[in-house]
Amino acid sequence: MELSLRARLRAGDQCAYGEIFDEHAQAIYAYAVRRLGDWAAAEDVVSLTFLEAWRLRGKLHEDGEGVRPWLFGIATNVLRNTARAGRRHRAAMERLPEREVVPDFADELVERLEDSSRLAAVRRALAQLRRGDREVFSLCVWAGLEYAAAAEALGVPVGTVRSRLSRARARLRVLVDAELAVGERAAGKRVEPVGGGGQVRNDRVGAVRSIQGNSR
């Protein structure tokens, strides 16, 4: 009898690990980019997610279809830790004496993306939501998980996912418009209607494939 992918991964099958990396790394990367707005930081999230997946493989239930919800649950925890580390870093930097700011030219490249201002506004608006609402929105809308998969990833009932997503969408409509208006006024531009969705760079996950290579 052929073992399922979950069973093979639980057993420490490195080929199974490589399969889940090939299939899901790009989706985890896109999710992290949209949450963080930083390509390099998103690559770190992918690396940490798959390192954690390997470390926690013994806790993966053998029953069930696929590992996508489980992986996104790990990625969400990694993002939580990243956010906490970022807050500690900012607090430490605020205690240092002020110094001359050197322009970061990488930011100019990000700004060239057609929807960069909107994506930044969405991230600022998301930061104002409750953590549970923010995570449900990110998983269901940005990562494209079904309600049941998002519920599995977060360890909550499906009904909770539905209610949080509904609340998040309602709040975000107001918050994103407000953030965009503030940004346009700060730039001295006329406020125009905004449409369209996020755009994510597709070619950076290769930098973390060393995880797969090291595990084989």
> pLDDT digit of tens for each residue in the chain (216 aa)?
457 888 888 888 899 899 999 999 999 999 998 888 888 888 999 999 999 999 999 888 766 667 899 999 999 999 988 766 545 545 554 554 554 443 443 444 434 443 567 777 788 888 899 999 999 998 998 888 999 999 999 999 999 999 999 999 888 888 888 887 876 776 665 544 444 444 444 443 443 444 445 444
Which tokens sit at 33? 């980019």
List domains and CATH numbers for the chain. Answer: 1-106 (1.10.1740.10), 114-198 (1.10.10.10)
| The pLDDT of residue 154 | 92
Sign of CA dihedral 137, 139, 142, 146: negative
Q: What is the C-alpha to C-alpha distance for residues 84 and 70, in angstroms, rounded to an integer?
A: 22
pLDDT given for residue 60 in this prediction: 84
Cα(127)–Cα(34) distance, integer angstroms = 12
**What's the token pair of residue 145?**
């998980």
CA 122 to mean position of chain CA atoms: 13
